[in-house]
Structure 1
Amino acid sequence: MGTAMNIRDMQRCIEDNLATRLAGQVAMVNGGDVIYRPGVAVPQREKGPGMPMPPEVTQLEQPALLARSDVRAVYAGVASDTFNKAFAYGGGLPLTDTVAAVRSFFGGHGAPYTWWLGPLSGAGDGAGEGEDIPAALAAHGFAVGEVETGMYLPLADAELEEPAPTPGLDIRVVRDAAGVADFASVLAANWNPPDGEVLRFYRRAAPALCSPGCPATLLAAYLDGQLAAAAEVYRTASGYPAAGSAAHLDVAGVYNVCTLEAFRRRGLGTAVTRAALLLARQAGCRHAVLQASGEGYRVYARLGFRDVGRFVECVPVD
């Protein structure tokens, strides 16, 4: 494989980053352990002196990852489909069997969830891309929810310098529990009333998010001293030769770009996204990926991202 990415390479970067981040949610809440169903032992993250410990959780709240050749599913220990997700349909087994496994996994936790499919994993972009899995899932009690655009940006060559900094804007890398709480409150405010499950997840994940070496970096933006916006970067390895080594975290996934309602239409979404990309490039990332909603698409396109395929959310309706 050469160093230049084609469109399928870009799609693979997005899907791998998304799947790895989903599994990472389990490790964050478990303090480093990933609990697989069926069980596969994973060594616990070492905890150094003074490292904060996550809160104790009940058995029902214990996060878990279903890892199969045909699908991955994550239960994050909270009652929210913001975090509880199945991802992909890899084929190899009848779709009926895969659906049964996903329903059984989430049913055991009594948890809401959604099922995301990417351009290489069931949400093909048209003729010649194989079976239309979202349509096939309709026969199994699912309906299409959100449809987002997978986007890619070569970070090394991106023009990211802000032409005119916003007066009074202070974008900070989150380094402590108070910062995590600020980030979470911006994200939770996407719902009315604010989603308490989002706040609960980040309270439990805060020790991991504040630990050295965490692949997730949160940013919180303040305008004239008031909390205003947020974004997340999650780093994974592409394995491409240009990365220097297969283990190098050279892909930056951008997530949870959001602005509090009182501060919208001031360019803060663009500013916090640009800050996230600059941070990722400084950390050695060469590729940036994300899934864009209709509202965010133009923001990311102006920053140089290109459309490389669609991601489809399937929601269980019975």
Structure 2
Amino acid sequence: MSQSAGKVASRDKVEVVPYDKQWPHLFKDEANRIQKALGECLKEIYHIGSTSIHNMPAKPVIDILLVLENADDIHFISEQLTRLNYDHLRRQIIPHVSFFTKRQGSVIRFHLHLHERGSPQIQRHVNFRDYVSQHPHVAHSYAQLKIQLASQFAEDIYSYVSGKDKLVQEIDAKAKLWEGRKRDYLPQNTGARAKDWTHEKLVKAMEANLNVHMTHFAQYLSQVELLRVPGFTLVNSTLADDTFNYALDADFSSANADEKISEVTDYFHQKNSPFSWWISPNDKPDDLSSHLENKGYENTENNCAMYFDLDAWDGDLLSMPELTIVRATEEKTLRDFARVLANDEAAFKTYFSWIASILTDDDPIEYYVGYVDGKPVVRGLSCYFAQVAGLHWLSTAPFARRKGYGRAMQEYRLKRAKDLGYHIAVLQASSEGYPLYRQLGYKEYGRFREYKLK
């Protein structure tokens, strides 16, 4: 996993110092200050990063993860943290409804990472910390790499950080599968009743949910390169199918749009990977489509953003005795998930074999396959994040269409989301799926657009 895509070197100085026994005490004192200020808005506080690992050399920064009850309280939280001399909150480079701020103390700097309860980033950070702490040989390798990189890139914090990415990804993957990992994380916030949601919140939730769906497993798969930098996110599986290679989450100015687009284009050309560029409603600049078209891209797909009010639905399911829907949790059922419909059979088979190697029961994504007479005929996945259930990848095998299997799979996942306590389900509807979703009662609220090079 890399964090760079043609980014120039940073001039920030890198300082890695020996472990200091005062770090845990500095964390506790700061955590107490923050807890008093935020009160019931704050559910948990974790010490993360290298200063949280005993005997680990580190930059003199106390990284603190704040687990929020509800990200909707962010304005109040920001005000309270400002009173504690923290900078104004800004969006995390990992854009999963998360925020970041920092302050310089008298002897050390504090970095705050804010996530709503249930965020998969909480598990990733804490599992990494605990795994390294419990595996001395891993801690030694990580420490040696940090010291080496700090010496090599003393004036370039960006290269120091990106130099750790491959080992961090390897450790993340091992920590994710580790039997000794923490299990009792707080569940996700399933949100307010549907009638209380604003249009703005719906759109942001859809974007965040889609981002988790498109990047979650890339964090752990050594075969996949995930690049998160200010301005965009790239995922490159190296497979010969643009289903698994894409740019998303554009956030740059119109003035430097051509430069950013060239960075993305050059990256995928250098990797020799076909790719698509997905534009969400809040992506910047507003005229990104025009810039893409001027750089040789064309609009290849327009999906309608839609939401479903689970509170207003009685939960009745279409009766279809011949269809058996199962949750895909291992290589065989995930292979069947891929077989339902594939642009490139080899690429789909390979990708879902990778998923099988890393999938656990605490992931925010669930895969489902529907069988008739032992044959996989329909599939769909559910992503639970940002207080909504995202229902993605509904597909029916060509030979099994117009028999109600797509509707049955959709209702099955809606019922699952309702049973989990969610009030809103969201999706991006293709032109083929749009009539079904309208019939089920989904409502429109935006557009997601795909662009590819001509």
How high is the TM-score relative to the length of structure 1? Answer: 0.77
Equivalent pairs: percent with the same residue? 26
Q: Considering fraction of residues, name the structure with more helix.
A: 2
Partner of 2:434: 297
Structural RMSD (CA): 1.9
| Residue 184 (structure 1) aligned with residue 338 (structure 2) | yes
| Residue 271 (structure 1) aligned with residue 271 (structure 2) | no
**Any residues of structure 2 matched to 1:222-301 within 5 Å, and which?**
222-236=371-385, 238=386, 250-301=387-438
Instruction: Show CA shifts across 1:254-301 (max 9, x none).
Output: 111111111100111010011112122223333211110011011112
Q: Secondary structure at the match of 2:441?
A: coil
Partner of 2:205: 13
Among residues 274, 282, 287, which one is paired with 1:112 in the alignment?
Answer: 274
Counterpart-to-counterpart distance in 2, 1:105 and 1:7: 35
Counterpart-to-counterpart distance in 1, 2:260 and 2:309: 35
Among residues 72, 75, 85, which one is paired with 2:236 in the alignment?
Answer: 75
Counterpart-to-counterpart distance in 2, 1:199 and 1:28: 18
2:349 partner amino acid: L
Among residues 86, 102, 112, which one is paired with 2:247 in the alignment?
Answer: 86
2:308–2:426 CA contact under 8 A, matched in 1? yes
2:339–2:376 CA contact under 8 A, matched in 1? no
Counterpart-to-counterpart distance in 1, 2:214 and 2:236: 9
Counterpart-to-counterpart distance in 1, 2:282 and 2:376: 38
Counterpart-to-counterpart distance in 1, 2:418 and 2:397: 26
Q: Secondary structure at the match of 2:422?
A: coil
How high is the TM-score relative to the length of structure 2? Answer: 0.55
Q: Secondary structure at the match of 2:340?
A: helix
Structure 1 residue 67 displacement after superposition: 1.3
1:158–1:304 CA contact under 8 A, matched in 2? no
Q: Which has the higher contact order (CA 8 A, sep 6+)?
A: 1
2:219–2:226 CA contact under 8 A, matched in 1? no
Counterpart-to-counterpart distance in 2, 1:216 and 1:18: 11
Structure 1 residue 135 displacement after superposition: 2.2
Structure 1 ranges of 4+ moved more than 4 A: none
How many pairs align? 261
**Any residues of structure 2 matched to 1:33-44 within 5 Å, and which?**
none
Q: Secondary structure at the match of 1:108?
A: helix
Partner of 1:54: none
Q: Secondary structure at the match of 1:187?
A: coil
Give the gaps of 5 or more residues in structure 1.
31-61, 123-129, 239-249
Q: Secondary structure at the match of 2:295?
A: coil
Larger Rg: 2
Structure 1 residue 154 displacement after superposition: 2.9
Partner of 2:290: 135
Give the gaps of 5 or more residues in structure 2.
1-71, 74-191
2:329–2:356 CA contact under 8 A, matched in 1? no
Counterpart-to-counterpart distance in 1, 2:409 and 2:221: 26
Range with greater deviation from structure 2 (19-28 or 293-302):
19-28
Counterpart-to-counterpart distance in 2, 1:94 and 1:175: 43
Structure 1 residue 27 displacement after superposition: 2.7
2:340–2:377 CA contact under 8 A, matched in 1? yes
Structure 1 residue 28 displacement after superposition: 4.8
Counterpart-to-counterpart distance in 2, 1:173 and 1:28: 21
Counterpart-to-counterpart distance in 1, 2:376 and 2:265: 39
Counterpart-to-counterpart distance in 2, 1:91 and 1:98: 8
Partner of 2:365: 216
Instruction: Show CA shifts across 1:24-46 (max 9, x none).
Output: 1313533xxxxxxxxxxxxxxxx
